Amino acid sequence: MQRRRYKLKQFVERLSQKRSIRLNFLAVSLIIFFLVYIAYASVSIRSSVTIGSRGSVKALYFGVYWDSECNNPVSNIDWGIMEPGSSVNVTIYIRNEGNAPMRITLNATNWSPSNASDYMRLEWDYSGQILQPNENIKTVLFLVVSLDALKVTDFSFDILITPFD
């Protein structure tokens, strides 16, 4: 009986030693893994890296001029005295002064008196073509006054030309 206890005791000790060896092996393996990971990470991580770069910011802007050489900028248009049922034409030159191709739109805003837009309309002959950088185009603005414009004597409005790509 004692011999059986001795063998059982030896068996338990061997089993315990094998478990201990397995745990030690697992612990050592994990430590080695983390050491290799840290070593690799420290080699690939630097305190600073310089990377060159360059590019351009798309700039859509333009100028509006009285002359085809684009020397005399337009700041105000005087339509003069207009008759009901008439129209007045004004020629301007629009130059793409940005660095990207663009198109433009036209709007008349801030009418004074506010009902003037009921009797007048602003148009142009621009057909939607693309303006390349540094290209200018001749454009004719038309202010058309309806026959019913008798209620408007003096007027003003802002001409809003907006670029888009």
Residues 86 and 45 placed together within one structural domain of the fold: no
Residues 82 and 15 placed together within one structural domain of the fold: no
Residues 68 and 97 placed together within one structural domain of the fold: yes
Residues 90-125 as b or e (16 or more Cβ within 10 Å = b)? bebbbbbbbebebbbeeebeebeeeebbebbebebe
Residues 73 and 144 placed together within one structural domain of the fold: yes
Q: Is the pLDDT of residue 147 over 80?
A: yes
Q: What is the pTM of this model?
A: 0.67
> 126 and 159 in contact (C-beta within 8 Å)?
no
Residues 71 and 127 placed together within one structural domain of the fold: yes
* Range of the structural domain that residue 70 is part of: 62-164
Residue 117 three-state SS = helix
Residues 34 and 108 placed together within one structural domain of the fold: no
CATH of the domain at 143: 2.60.40
Number of domains in the chain: 2
Residues 42 and 73 placed together within one structural domain of the fold: no
Residues 47 and 70 placed together within one structural domain of the fold: no
pLDDT digits (tens, 9 = 90+) for 54-84: 766 767 789 999 999 999 999 999 999 999 9
